Amino acid sequence: MNHNFSSVNIEVLYKDSVSIRAIDIYKDSLVGFGYDKGYGFLDLSNQNVELHQFELDQDTIEKKNWVAQQRAVVFKDDYFFSLGIGAPARLRKVNIDSKAEEIVYVENHEKSFYDAIAFWNTKEGIAMGDPTDACLSIIITRDGGKSWQKVSCDNLPQTVDGETAFAASNGNIAIKGDHTWIVSGGMQSRVFYSSDKGITWSVVDTPMLQGSNTTGAYAVAFYDEHHGAIIGGDYTKPRLNKGNKIMTNDGGKSWQLIAEGEEPGYKSCVRYVPNGGAKELVAVGFTGITISNDSGNTWKELSKEGFYTLRFINDSIAITAGKGRIAKLTFK
């Protein structure tokens, strides 16, 4: 199906002083989000918002992590998971109905910095972050999020000095079936791939802009096991539109530059339009909203309104969030 969207209606659902870089949607009715002082929930039926702001405790006052920004969130089964950046890392499992909260993973390494989280199924999930050793930080659960184990660098490809990831939109991980793709950026921007739900891993180079601590892939999305897209660039040079958009048609074995030297420039999130036949993509960033109806070869700016992250509810409606707001996007 080709929707050929050419415009978007933006309806602001929630406005505050918060900064939101991670959202997920539960049963098309509840938006869970991470923000700069905790996490929250937005009921789409009545637009009621419930914020959970963390308080400093005596053990973490000096480390300042109790109020760490939550930039990796996901719903799974009857729970909401929220993971903060910074050290020590804390992953919270929240009961959707009771809002009872449990810390299910703690990592005290001074370099801990987690960027994204996703699930393969109701039992198995993965979160990724910056290297604390010679590999990406990857933690995995096989019991529905009750416990998480960090993958040894012995079982992961090594990273290079300055290779990291960006907690810009909870978009560093893409999952289709048992297949998993994770993107890195910075001094080197690559794609880490697992065909077996995180048991074995390989890595491929990309033609993405790389070589400084602000360049590279910021988000990855896959439509199916074959068609994928990566977007990013350099947020300090948002108009730069070279080396910031790549596509694959072979499951990530190879990647090709698209719309090289053409708009858009830097974006922090990319998502395929559901039921768009791998041809339709939407990208958002603080620079605005753009859409492609031809597999990323050409793009059209729909709005200059800035957002950080986006998730679709159906093939024409998405929820997006950014600095100070959450909004509903209706594509037409």
Taking every pair of C-alpha atoms in the chain, what is the biggest distance, in angstroms?
A: 56
Q: How far is 169 from 218, CA to CA, in rounded Å?
A: 8
Beta carbons of 317 and 29 less than 8 angstroms apart: no
Q: How far is 138 from 126, CA to CA, in rounded Å?
A: 7
pLDDT digits (tens, 9 = 90+) for 130-173: 999 999 999 999 999 999 999 999 999 999 999 999 999 999 99
User: How high is the mean pLDDT of the chain?
Assistant: 95
Q: Is the pLDDT of residue 190 over 60?
A: yes
**What's the DSSP call for residue 292?**
E
Of 20-29, 62-71, 240-249, 292-301, the least confident:
62-71
Q: How far is 277 from 281, CA to CA, in rounded Å?
A: 10
User: End-to-end distance of the chain based on CA atoms, in angstroms?
Assistant: 14
Average pLDDT over residues 187-194: 98
Tally of CB atoms within 10 A around 162: 14
Beta carbons of 10 and 51 less than 8 angstroms apart: no
Beta carbons of 276 and 1 less than 8 angstroms apart: yes
For residue 69, the model assigns a pLDDT of 87
**What's the DSSP call for residue 154?**
G
Q: Which pair of structure tokens corresponds to residue 160?
A: 């290079």
201 bridge partner residues: none
Q: Which pair of structure tokens corresponds to residue 220?
A: 């990855």
Kindly state the percentage of the chain with pLDDT values over 70: 96
What b-and-e string marks burial along 223-241, b requiring 16 or more CB atoms within 10 Å of the CB?
A: beeebbbbbbbbbeebebb
Torsion of CA 255, 260, 265, 268, to 10 degrees: -10
Q: Is the pLDDT of residue 27 over 80?
A: yes
Contacts with 62 (C-beta within 8 Å, 6 or more apart), sequence order: none
For residue 57, the model assigns a pLDDT of 53
Average pLDDT over residues 302-329: 98
pLDDT digits (tens, 9 = 90+) for 199-252: 999 999 999 999 999 999 999 999 999 999 999 999 999 999 999 999 999 999
> What are the residue ranges spanned by the domains of the chain?
8-331
Beta carbons of 167 and 71 less than 8 angstroms apart: yes
Name the helix (H) or strand (E) containing 71: strand 70-76
For residue 61, the model assigns a pLDDT of 47
Of 87-96, 136-145, 272-281, 313-322, the least confident:
87-96
Q: How far is 116 from 71, CA to CA, in rounded Å?
A: 7
CATH topology of domain 8-331: Methylamine Dehydrogenase; Chain H (2.130.10)
Q: Is the pLDDT of residue 298 over 90?
A: yes
37 bridge partner residues: none
Average pLDDT over residues 174-188: 98
Q: How far is 321 from 73, CA to CA, in rounded Å?
A: 13
For residue 65, the model assigns a pLDDT of 47
pLDDT digits (tens, 9 = 90+) for 35-88: 988 999 999 999 999 999 876 555 554 544 455 789 999 999 999 999 999 888
For residue 55, the model assigns a pLDDT of 62
